[in-house]
Amino acid sequence: MQKLWGGRFSASADSFAEAFGASITFDKRLAPFDIQGSVAHATMLGRCGIVSQAESEVIVDGLKRVRAKLERGEIEFRLSDEDIHMNIERYLTEEIGSVAGKLHTARSRNDQVATSFHLFMRSSVLDLVEALAEVQRQLVEQAELHGDVILPGYTHLQRAQPVLFAHHLLAYAHMLQRDVERAVSLFGRVNTLPLGAGALAGTTFPIDRKLTAELLGFTAVYENSMDAVSDRDFVLEYLSVASITMMHLSRLCEEIVIWTTGEFGYIELHDSLSTGSSMMPQKKNADFAELVRGKTGRVYGALMSLLTTMKGLPLAYNKDMQEDKEGAFDAVDTLLGSLTVVAAMVRTWKVRADAMRASAAGGFTNATDAADYLAKRGMPFREAHEVVGRLVRLCIEQKKTLLELSLEELKSFSSLFDDDIFEALALETVVSRRTSLGGTGSEAVAVQMRSVKEFLKSSQAWMDKVGPVVRASEGA
Ligand code: ARG
């Protein structure tokens, strides 16, 4: 088959080499974005008088017909056409004849592929912000629903101090807030147009890159054509955000795995989001949480892979860069899938408040408060720590909690203890007295809740502003 660059070559590629060099098997996913970029390019060529207005219209119309065929599933991609860009051009030629050849005026596949990838990533960043906001909403909802539930807070996975379940959940909402902030900041760099860079050095045609940018809803153009065609930072940044987000989801999922064990029993997952065992009839496993935890590795892998691909490349385009796509596609799917599954688990889990409370009542989670009690009555904290440490040892020997000791027993350790100690060591008191900014006291948690809700409103406003531009230009 005649190649688009056939003029310079005499022997046709053998089929192994053809398959090895082709990217159509995976970059076909860029088809709608390639067409979107081409429509804008052809429109700009017409408006700048580089092709006639009539030719521009024929090309745009042809591209739209190709897109309709694509949507109807009537397009078959050919390996011999190597990648999505040449496959679409071949179809365009079938549709409108040789005038299709004018579309590639003042353009190279190097700036074309970069543009398609920018458009794809732009849409993916918006999807990501939407999916992150949904998980945040579910966390906030659960935090509100179980506002006064107390569970042990842990360090080293040993019970440390009691906290509100809402406080624990909002910690994740705040982590995801940083992920949203990173994604929003990345959006500006993704939303930058490389098209018009040509192969690397620009073009002799009187193009108008700002017009193309405007047509595509890009808010900036790359200022340096060599940078434009060889930059993949926007993909690397997405993969970095994705990796950090997956790490956050993985930590939450690890907690879900722990919380659903018989030993903890803090939550129960919805049947549809857990699985049984083929052999052991009693089992209910948190498979989906484990899968999210497991899939985190492949997203990190995509980041490492692309960093490694890019690190030795001289300017400008090199074919190595064709390797930028599969990992990114996989990371986008994995991340969005994981966010969806996590949102569903959080929305549908059953919270076992009694089990959480019972666990918080054990483990001497109020020991710090016993020491604080003595310190507030004048004993140096180090000494108070020592006194309470000895009390804890006594309790362990007698299989008691601190609250089960009598005032006489307490007084025998320090005369500073009084009968208000029992109130001071009650779980509710221990939690509610942590009124410091960011703490677990209910007022402090309410402040965190309000802040997350405010943030959700502002990210909704951002999506309302940016979303229509991204989605509308996709269909244009
Ligand atoms: N399929 C190629 C890629 O994904 C398109 C760019 C090809 N450019 C070139 N000069 N071979 O990177």
pLDDT in tens, 44-56: 999 999 999 999 9
What is the per-residue pLDDT across 453-465, written as a single tens digit (0 to 9) for each? 999 999 999 999 9
**Ligand 1 centroid vs 33 CA: distance in angstroms?**
15
Q: Whose CA is nearest to atom 11 of ligand 1?
A: 319
**Ligand 1 centroid vs 113 CA: distance in angstroms?**
7
Which residues partner with 161 through β-bridges? 153
Q: What is the mean pLDDT of residues 322-334?
A: 98
Q: Which amino acid is at 353?
A: A
What is the per-residue pLDDT across 74-120, written as a single tens digit (0 to 9) for each? 999 999 999 999 999 999 999 999 999 999 999 999 999 999 999 99
Predicted local confidence at residue 475, as pLDDT: 60
* Distance between CA atoms of residues 387 and 414, nearest Å: 8
Structure tokens at 62: 């042809």
Query: Residue 450 pLDDT more than 60?
Result: yes
Predicted local confidence at residue 274, as pLDDT: 86
Q: What is the mean pLDDT of residues 187-215?
A: 98
Atom of ligand 1 nearest to the CA of 84: 1
Torsion of CA 7, 9, 10, 13, to 10 degrees: -130
Q: Which amino acid is at 219?
A: T
Who wins on pLDDT, 277 or 107?
Answer: 107
What is the per-residue pLDDT across 138-164, written as a single tens digit (0 to 9) for each? 999 999 999 999 999 999 999 999 999
Mean predicted lDDT score pLDDT of the chain: 96
Please confirm, yes or no, whether 146 is among the known catalytic residues.
no
Predicted local confidence at residue 236, as pLDDT: 98
* Distance between CA atoms of residues 476 and 467, nearest Å: 14
Predicted local confidence at residue 46, as pLDDT: 98
**Ligand 1 centroid vs 467 CA: distance in angstroms?**
29
* Distance between CA atoms of residues 37 and 113, nearest Å: 9
Q: What is the mean pLDDT of residues 301-317?
A: 98
Predicted local confidence at residue 328, as pLDDT: 98
* Distance between CA atoms of residues 326 and 306, nearest Å: 10
Q: Omega before 343 cis (within 30°)?
A: no
Q: What is the mean pLDDT of residues 46-71?
A: 98
Query: Residue 414 pLDDT more than 90?
Result: yes
For ligand 1, pick from 313, 319, 326 the residue to mutate: most ligand atoms within 8 Å of CB: 319
Query: Residue 476 pLDDT more than 70?
Result: no
Predicted local confidence at residue 3, as pLDDT: 65
Q: Which amino acid is at 362?
A: G
Predicted local confidence at residue 332, as pLDDT: 98
Structure tokens at 337: 């899938």
Query: Residue 1 pLDDT more than 60?
Result: no
Please confirm, yes or no, whether 458 is among the known catalytic residues.
no
Under 8 Å between Cβ of 132 and 179: yes
* Distance between CA atoms of residues 316 and 423, nearest Å: 71
End-to-end CA distance of the chain: 33
Predicted local confidence at residue 13, as pLDDT: 62
Spot the catalytic one: 156, 406, 415, 436.
Answer: 156
For ligand 1, pick from 24, 84, 109, 121 the residue to mutate: most ligand atoms within 8 Å of CB: 109
* Distance between CA atoms of residues 307 and 454, nearest Å: 36
Where does ligand 1 bind, in terms of residues with CB under 6 Å?
23, 27, 83, 109-110, 113, 317, 319, 321-322
- CA 435, 440, 446, 451 dihedral sign is positive
Buried b (16+ CB within 10 A) or exposed e, 445-459: beebbeebeebbeeb
Q: How confident is the model at residue 275 (pLDDT cuts 50, 70, 90)?
A: confident
Torsion of CA 227, 228, 229, 232, to 10 degrees: 80
**Geometric angle at alpha carbon 332, from 129 and 339, rounded to 5°:** 55
* Distance between CA atoms of residues 293 and 360, nearest Å: 26
Q: How confident is the model at residue 284 (pLDDT cuts 50, 70, 90)?
A: confident
Which residues partner with 192 through β-bridges? 220
What is the per-residue pLDDT across 383-405, written as a single tens digit (0 to 9) for each? 999 999 999 999 999 999 999 99
Query: Residue 259 pLDDT more than 70?
Result: yes
Atom of ligand 1 nearest to the CA of 317: 10
Query: Residue 71 pLDDT more than 60?
Result: yes
Question: What percent of the chain stands above pLDDT 70?
Answer: 97
Quote the distance between the C-alpha of residue 355 and its chain's center: 32
DSSP state, residue 14: P
Under 8 Å between Cβ of 196 and 399: no
Spot the catalytic one: 12, 15, 52, 277.
Answer: 277
Identify the three-state secondary structure at position 154. strand
Predicted local confidence at residue 79, as pLDDT: 96
Q: How confident is the model at residue 14 (pLDDT cuts 50, 70, 90)?
A: confident
